[in-house]
Amino acid sequence: MGDCRIAVLGCRGRMGRMLVREIGAAAGCAVAAATETPGDAAVGRDAGAVAGLDPLGVTVVDDAGAAAAASDVLVDFTVPAAAAGHAAAAAAAGAALVIGTTGLEPAQTAALEAAAERVPVVYAPNMSLGVNLLFAVTEQVAQALGDDWDIEIVEMHHKHKADAPSGTALGFGRAAAKGRGVALEDAADRGRDGVTGARRRGDIGFAVLRGGDVAGEHTVVFATDSERVELTHKAGSRAIFARGAVRAARWAAGRAQRGQPGLYDMADVLGLR
């Protein structure tokens, strides 16, 4: 079996450049294609040079369809507006898709679900191994503790992050809600300001911090009278997300070879189910 051929969508972004470097360093993987938006300065350049590496012999293009045709799997950490087009390109080419873009709207999520009827799609708000293990722990703790324990989720990211709460924070919220047997939409309190009154029993609260170059910090707080449990994950570098994405790409490519389409997440990739 040859190398897993991976296309990096949005290769000039922070995560895109890191993905190119991680794929280049991973045994059994190769950057097969790379894209950027039409008119971007990276288009026409070598993807390795864009990422600060030696040339890879892969020219950056502005056509996701062409990238999909040359690859086993596409990796997308771009913007929500591009998600539907990238999903359609993957499905048309029969290529798997790994997407870590956060802040998707319902219509964009629906596009992933449509693509997943034809190809494997791994969609995860965070591809860190540690975070995904903590998702599972959060669900277990929420299930074990009664709703007299308040749940608050605190996250901090760099000043350039556009969406809030982070996709990872919402992932922790969904895990906590699942543990309690409720829908997050019914329990979430995503912002407090002014005279809000007492906290409602059963709420899952979110607090958002932004500043500096923080790669990502998340804490799930379980608090009751005279007692508190905190689950915390701190990311020291975005490289952990790129490494997780490469692992997901290899897993998804294997599913595609076996003809196993579907919408998956990192719990599937890591065998946590």
Predicted confidence (pLDDT) per residue in 148-187, tens digit: 999 999 999 999 998 899 989 999 999 999 999 999 999 9
Task: Looking at the structure, tell me whether residues 141 and 262 fall in a common domain.
Answer: no
Same domain, 173 and 256: no
What is the C-alpha separation between 13 and 8, in angstroms, rounded? 10
List, for residues 15-60, the tens digit of each pLDDT value: 999 999 999 999 999 999 999 999 999 999 999 999 999 999 999 9
Q: Are residues 79 and 103 in the same domain?
A: yes
Same domain for 144 and 122: no
Q: Which residue among 86, 157, 218, 233 is the active-site one?
A: 157
Instruction: Using pLDDT thresholds of 50, 70 and 90, give the confidence band for residue 273.
Output: confident
**Residue 174 belongs to domain with CATH number:** 3.30.360.10
| Domains held by the chain: number | 2
1 pLDDT higher than 70: no
The residue annotated as part of the active site, out of 86, 159, 161, 234, is: 161
- Catalytic annotation on 159? no
- Is 86 an active-site residue? no
Burial 241-260 (b: 16+ CB within 10 A, else e): bbbbbbbbbbbbbbbbeeee
CB within 8 Å of 196: residues ≥ 6 apart: none
Confidence at 90, pLDDT banded by 50, 70, 90: very high
Q: What is the pLDDT of residue 103?
A: 85
What is the domain-level CATH number for residue 262? 3.40.50.720
Domain with 202 in it: 129-234
Work out the burial of residue 264: count CB atoms within 10 Å of its CB; fewer than 13 is exposed, 13-18 middle, 19 or more buried. Answer: buried
Q: pLDDT at position 125, please?
A: 78
Q: How do residues 241-268 score in pLDDT, each as one tens digit?
A: 999 999 999 999 999 999 999 999 999 9
| Residues whose CB falls within 8 Å of the CB of residue 51, separated by 6 or more in sequence, listed in order | 11, 16, 17, 18, 20, 21, 24
Name the residue type at position 170: L
Based on the domain organization, do 63 and 134 belong to the same domain? Answer: no
> Does the predicted TM-score (pTM) go above 0.85?
no
- Same domain, yes or no: 120 and 247: yes
